[in-house]
Structure 1
Amino acid sequence: MVGTQSDSWYDPDRIARELDWNLLRTFVVLAESRSITEAAGRLRLKQPSVSTALKRLEDRVGRKLIKRGPGQYALTEAGELLYREAVDINGSILRLSTLLREMTDEVRGHVKIAVASHVVCPLFDQTLGAFHAQHPAAGLTINVLSSADAIAEVQAKRASFAVCLVRDRNPRLEYRRLYREFFGLFCGPDHSLFGRKGLTHADLAGQTAVSFDTDRLQDVLRPVTVMRAQSQLGERVVATSSNLEEVRRMIIAGLGIGPLPVHVVRRDLEDGLLWQVPPYDDLPPIDVHLVWNPSAILNRAEEILLTMLQEVIDDTPMAQRTYA
Structure 2
Amino acid sequence: MDRPELALNQLHAFAVLAEELHFGRAAERLGVAQPPLSQQIRRLEERVGHRLFVRGPGRVALTAAGEELLPAARRALDEVAAGLAAARRVAAGEAGRLRIGFAASLAPTVLPELLRSFRAGRPGVELELRELTTAPQVAALREHAIDVGLMREPPQDPELVVEALWSEGFVAVLPVGHRLAGRRAVPVAELAGESFVLLPRACGPTVHDRIVGVCREAGFEPRVAQRAVEWQTVAALVGAGLGVSLAPAGVRRLRMRGVAYRTITPDTARTGVGLVRRREDRSPLVARFAAEARALAARAGGPPGGAGQA
Instruction: Look up the match of 1:142.
Output: 129
Q: CA deviation at 1:200?
A: 5.0
1:176-214 C-alpha deviation (Å, 9 max, x unpaired): 101001112221124344325786556433111111213
- The equivalent residue for 2:281 is 296
Taking a change above 3 Å as real, the CA distance of residues 102 and 230 of structure 1, as seen in their structure-2 partners, is farther
Partner AA of 1:305 in structure 2: F
Question: SS at the partner of 2:124?
Answer: coil
Structure 1 gaps, min length 5:
1-99
Task: Rate the CA distance shift 1:101–1:265 in 2: closer, same or farther, 3 A.
Answer: farther
TM-score calculated relative to the size of structure 2: 0.59
Indicate if the aligned counterparts of 2:239 and 2:258 stay in contact, CA closer than 8 A: no
Q: Quote the Cα distance in structure 2 between the aligned partners of 1:228 and 1:246.
A: 21
Superposition TM-score, scaled by structure 1 size? 0.57
Q: In the superposition, relative to structure 1, how do residues 137 and 319 fare at CA in structure 2: closer, same or farther (>3 Å)? A: closer
Instruction: Tell me if the contact between 1:112 and 1:160 (Cα under 8 Å) persists in the aligned partners.
Output: yes
- Tell me whether 1:112 sits opposite 2:96 in the alignment: no
Whole-angstrom distance in 1 between the partners of 2:198 and 2:128: 28
Q: Which residue of 2 aligns with 1:309?
A: 293
CA 1:127–1:192 in 2, change beyond 3 Å: closer, same or farther?
A: closer
SS at match of 1:129: helix
Task: Work out the CA distance in 1 between the residues paired with 2:154 and 2:116.
Answer: 29
Percent identical: 19
Q: Deviations over 1:248-291 (max 9, x none)?
A: 1111111111012224315759x8731537x4232410011000
Decide whether the 8 Å contact of 1:115 with 1:142 is kept in 2: yes
The question of 1:318 aligning with 2:302 is answered yes
Counterpart amino acid of 2:290? Answer: L
Q: Is the 8 A contact 1:190 1:253 kept in 2?
A: no
Shift of residue 238, structure 1, vs aligned partner: 0.5
Cα separation, partners in 2 of 1:248 and 1:179, compared to 1, 3 Å? same
Q: Pick closer, same or farther for the CA change 1:247–1:198 going to 2, 3 Å.
A: closer
- Name the residue aligned to 2:160: 173
- 1:276 lines up with 2:262 in the alignment: yes
Q: Against the structure 1 CA distance between its residues 219 and 263, is the aligned structure 2 distance closer, same or farther, given a 3 Å change threshold?
A: closer
Aligned to 1:63: none
Q: How does 1:77-156 map to 2 (within 5 A)?
A: 103-106=86-89, 107-119=94-106, 124-156=111-143
**Whole-angstrom CA distance in 1 between matches of 2:201 and 2:302:** 25
Distance change in 2, residues 1:101/1:293 (3 Å): farther
Alignment of 1:68-79 (within 5 A): none
Q: CA deviation at 1:166?
A: 3.0
Q: CA RMSD for the aligned pairs?
A: 3.6
Runs of 5+ in structure 2 lacking a partner? 1-82, 306-310
Name which of 221, 228, 246 aligns with 2:208: 221
CA displacement, residues 61-109 of structure 1 (integer Å, 9 cap, x when unaligned) = xxxxxxxxxxxxxxxxxxxxxxxxxxxxxxxxxxxxxxx9994454431
Structure 2 counterpart of 1:248, from 221, 235, 256: 235
In structure 2, what residue type is equivalent to 1:290? L
Distance 1:317 1:108, change over 3 A: same
Whether contact under 8 Å (2:194, 2:244) holds in the other structure is yes
Change (3 A) 1:243 1:195: same
* Aligned-partner Cα distance in 1 for 2:95–2:143: 23
**SS where residue 251 of structure 2 aligns?**
coil
Distance 1:281 1:215 in 2: 27
Instruction: Give the one of 259, 262, 272 matched to 1:287.
Output: 272
Q: Distance in 2 between matches of 1:164 and 1:102?
A: 34
